[in-house]
Amino acid sequence: MRAYLERSGYRYSAATIHKYMNTELGLRSIVRPGKPGIRPGKPHKVFENKLKQNFTAEKPSQKWCTDFTYLFLKNGDVRYNCSIIDLYDRSVMASIMDRHITSDLAIRTLQKALDSQSTLRNRLTLHSDQGSQYTSKAFVEFYESAGVTQSMSKAGYPYNNAPMEQYFSTMKNECTNLYEFRTEEAMYQAVEKVAYVTYNHVRPHSYNGYKTPFEARCA
């Protein structure tokens, strides 16, 4: 919020902004629904952590991160979102929502991200957790055929994929946890707008010196 105000010519301390938002306006945080249970599968292949928490990249499409998150409709039905971000500027490269959390969803998301790039001039590394969708035979064969190097966080260490956690937290705090979605289509449209419009082109990002990912990429 401080960054938004500064971009509009208003300069206030974080404490002052917090005071007015919390005390004067009565704004409060939103409690999230509980995480749905997911049965882990048997891994086909597990890869070493090649990033080792180095979440920077010198060029676009050099290092990507990917993960799944869960979203709830008003009636309690769960939907799963798989996204990929570029560590160069935190751009969302692909985002797909489905009723099931599968290796096919991971494959379709990676294919969408790859299709968005005319050429990949650098050796691309894709980092994920050790979820069964990413260790499955189908996903391993797909990324190998695409010439992508796979990197994985150690099981039980979510901070090894911190940029994805941050993106999903932003998406939920600023969109999906603020509204009630009665239909899958309404949620889909909202998540698409967050990913490809708000996050990439409107919202300033601290990693980019409070430029948007698009501004950082074009600088």
pLDDT at site 15: 74
Residue 2 pLDDT greater than 90, yes or no: no
Tokens matching residue 125: 């590394």
Name the β-bridge partners of 96.
82
pLDDT at site 69: 96
Q: Domain-by-domain residue ranges, the chain? A: 1-30, 63-218
Number of H helices, E strands in the chain: 8, 5
The pLDDT tens digits of the residues spanning 132-178 come to 999 999 999 998 999 999 999 987 777 889 999 999 999 999 999 99
86 and 63 Cβ atoms separated by less than 8 Å: yes
Distance (Å, whole) CA 2 – CA 81: 29
Report the greatest alpha carbon distance in the chain.
Answer: 56
Domain spanning 63-218: which CATH class is it, in words? alpha beta
Tokens matching residue 43: 């891994």
pLDDT at site 68: 96
Distance (Å, whole) CA 99 – CA 58: 36
User: Rounded to an integer, what is the distance from CA 75 to the centroid of its chain?
Assistant: 24
The pLDDT tens digits of the residues spanning 5-47 come to 776 777 777 777 766 677 776 665 554 555 554 454 455 578 8
Nearest to 148 by CA among 112, 116, 124, 118: 124
Tell whether pTM > 0.85: no
- In this prediction, residue 123 has a pLDDT band, given cuts at 50, 70 and 90, of confident
